[in-house]
Copies of this chain bind each other. A is one copy, B any other.
Amino acid sequence: MSDFPVQFLFDFGSPNAYLSHKVLPGIEQRCGVSIDYVPVLLGGLFKMTGNRSPAESLAGIKNKPEYQNREMQRFIKRHQLDAYRFNPHFPVNTLQIMRGAVAAKRLGVFEKYVDVVFAAMWEQGLKMDDPAVVQSALTSAGLDAAALMAMSQDAEVKAELAANTQSAFDKGAFGSPSFLVGDELYFGKDKLRDVEEEIIRQRGTR
């Protein structure tokens, strides 16, 4: 654990958050830090900022969506993330599974929950805004789906997700994935090299 916070502000609905998630362990290992995963609601951030998903903002623009896809393929190839598949149900409403992430922290199964839900979204292509699908995915992975889904309805859990989202906004975030190294904000999977350099820089100043 480093003595300055390194945070990954994520929403399962973002394919680039999934791709980042797969690359973060290497950064933790190389830098000797533990990265704190903070669930935030991307839909909430979009409402607060007026920002929109690339799927919306790039609609009708020529060449730019193709380029973004090319960049995604480059990232996948560079990091050998061949399990990635675009979710056929995109966009998936992530309110329940993001509340579930906060619940999983309280139930002590956060790391496993995050792995399972990211894989369900971006490897298996499941419709993770359907409660039956969520229950089945969690149960198959050996998680206590009933406990997680009950806890995710807890008022404190709901409030914590909303507070995380507000805090992300206050720190300058407008989308997912975002990263904080101390107070330095970075947006997008393409900034992971900068994140890594900034971790090393901040560590060197202590």
Which A residues are within 8 Å of any B CB, using their own CB? Answer: 48-51, 57, 60-64, 66-67, 70, 74, 169, 172-175, 185, 187, 190-191, 193-194
Q: Chain B residues near A66 (CB, 8 Å)? A: 172
Known: A57-B57, A61-B174, A62-B174. A185 touches B67 (CB 8 A): yes
Residues of B within 8 A of A67 (CB): 172, 174, 185, 187
- Nearest 7 CB-CB pairs, A to B? A63-B174, A49-B62, A64-B174, A50-B61, A63-B172, A51-B61, A49-B63
Determine how many copies of this chain the complex contains. 2
| A-B contact sample (16 more), CB < 8 A, given A64-B175, A70-B185, A190-B191 | A48-B62, A49-B62, A49-B64, A50-B61, A51-B62, A62-B169, A62-B174, A63-B174, A66-B172, A67-B174, A67-B185, A67-B187, A70-B172, A74-B194, A190-B190, A193-B193
Q: Which residues of B are found within 8 Å of A62, using beta-carbon distances?
A: 48-51, 169, 174
Checking B49, B60, B74, B172 against A61 with a beta-carbon cut-off of 8 angstroms, the contacting residue is B49
Q: Report A40 CB to chain B, min CB distance, Å.
A: 13
By a CB distance below 8 angstroms, the chain B residues around A172 are 63, 66-67, 70
Question: Which of B60, B70, B175 lies in contact with A50, CB distance below 8 A?
Answer: B60
Q: Look across to chain B and name the residue whose beta carbon is closest to the beta carbon of A190.
A: B190
Residue contacts A-B, CB under 8 angstroms, 22 given: A48-B62, A49-B61, A49-B62, A49-B63, A51-B61, A51-B62, A51-B63, A57-B57, A62-B169, A63-B169, A63-B172, A64-B175, A66-B172, A67-B172, A67-B174, A67-B185, A67-B187, A70-B172, A74-B194, A190-B190, A190-B191, A193-B193
Could you tell me the distance in whole angstroms from the C-beta of A205 to the nearest C-beta in chain B?
A: 15
**Chain B positions within 8 Å of A74 at CB level:** 194
Shortest CB-to-CB span from A48 to chain B, Å, is 7
A61 to B190, CA, bound (A): 21
Contact residues in B for A194 (Cβ distance below 8 Å): 74
Quote the shortest CB–CB distance from A202 to chain B (angstroms): 14
